[in-house]
Amino acid sequence: MKIVVTGLGIVSSIGIGKEDFWSGLISGKSGITEVSGFDSSGYRTHRGAEIKNFDPSLFMSDYAEKGRASQFLVAAFSMALKDSGLNLDLVAKDMVGVIAGTTMAEAQVIEEINRAWFFEGMDKIDPAKVVMSAAHNIPDSVCFKYGFRGISMIMPAACSAGNYAIGFGCDMLKQSRAQVVFACTSDSFSRIGFAGFNRLLSMAPDTCRPFDKNRKGMIIGEGSAVLVLEREEDAKKRGAFIYAETAGYGLSCDAFSMTAPSAEGIERVMNLALSNSGINADDIDYISAHGTGTISNDKAEAQAIKSVFGKRYAKVPVSSIKSMIGHTMGSSSSMEAVSCCLAIKHSVIPPTMNYHTPDPECDLDCVPNEPRKKDINIAMNNSYAFGGNNCSVIFRKINSST
């Protein structure tokens, strides 16, 4: 049984909607600017990939009752639904699954609660904010809007959450526990995340340079992405456009460090994804890297790619779109999944921007600074998270040989 992607929706710092997002990727547009959402003068760094032009009123009337992450998701969801061409009147409401991933959940709402508590006292905390702060509000925001009564789940699997949601969604469909699954993610730019990664000394002062010898760290971003998943026979029956098949995925935990990556764990999860998909490493045409721009992560990922792909490693195009959209936390791998689907559709690999000085320890084909025309039958999407939570998903052009 094949599970396919039939709809895409995205809210990002380089574009809202798949067309603007893709245009931004292939033009090398940067969403990284000076932080404007709060005063960053007390921090080591001052740049982030914030979404500047998002108007929630265009997508919902009750936006004031939702946190920013939920607002993002409702917007991305509505775009994905429209893109899929699904007629929800023909789908049983209890057979629709909404699986959402996140890292920080509604962090901005939690900040508002903390400020009220600290400066005014507990009695001044708005009870509505307490309700809004719960992580489950993110998937529930669309379930309530559309009346879905199937599985609504939040996956707080940090930076791998998007790929986790895709993998779980595929399993639900294969087990006939759903007719349609919306694999979603959402994270908003927050003081909590910005302060935390500054304290961990993980943030770059200027921009994100994945795999470059002079890389200095990550740049925090925000956004949401939604992929509509269906069984191939259902999609073809209703004449849907199919972006790609989700051929398989791999999951692993490094059990090594809460923050540091493990090359062995990254290698293992890529091999698990290949095995689960029934695909040989020689058949991979493109790798969407986790590529955070930190010294340790990029080095470990490059080492793992070399181990998995052997002598062929330098011939496999690898790029990191975090060089443009920043690290969007729980949304990162689903945004990269959207990028993979569009790369397969358009036969174009998005570039790794800001790559100027090769690093001998990361001597990959990083598709530097310019998009590359290439037929892509099979793409691998890598994600690695704090706690050593890893997930790789493989996408395949639906008409390619299996």
Q: Give percent of the chain above pLDDT 90.
A: 84
Tokens of 368: 């530097």
| Beta-strand pair 223-231/3-12 | antiparallel
Q: What is the mean pLDDT of residues 344-363?
A: 98
Q: Is 245 helix (H, G, I), strand (E, B) or coil?
A: strand
CATH level 3 topology of 246-396: Peroxisomal Thiolase; Chain A, domain 1 (3.40.47)
Residue 401 clears pLDDT 80, i.e. is over it: no
Which of the residues 290, 341, 362, 366 is marked catalytic? Answer: 290
Note if 136 is an active site residue: no
Which of the residues 159, 170, 340, 341 is marked catalytic? Answer: 159
pLDDT of residue 402: 38
Note if 159 is an active site residue: yes
Note if 391 is an active site residue: no
Q: Give the DSSP letter of residue 57.
A: G
Q: Give the DSSP letter of residue 210.
A: T
Question: Is domain 3-237 annotated with CATH 2.40.110.10?
Answer: no
| Higher pLDDT pick, 385 / 203 | 203
**What pLDDT band is residue 127 in, cutting at 50, 70 and 90?**
confident
Give the contacts of 245 (CB within 8 A, at least 6 positions apart): 2, 3, 4, 5, 232, 395, 396, 397, 398
Same fold, 3-237 and 246-396: yes
Q: Mean pLDDT score of the chain, rounded to an integer?
A: 94
What are the tens digits of pLDDT across the range 228-237? 999 999 999 9
Which of the residues 143, 184, 327, 366 is marked catalytic? Answer: 327
All structural domains of the chain with their residue ranges: 3-237, 246-396
Residue 107 clears pLDDT 90, i.e. is over it: no
**What pLDDT band is residue 400 in, cutting at 50, 70 and 90?**
very low
| Beta-strand pair 15-16/286-288 | unpaired
Residue 21 clears pLDDT 90, i.e. is over it: yes
How does DSSP assign 140-168, residue by residue? Answer: HHHHHHHT--S-EEEE--GGGHHHHHHHH
- What is the pTM for the complete model shown? 0.95
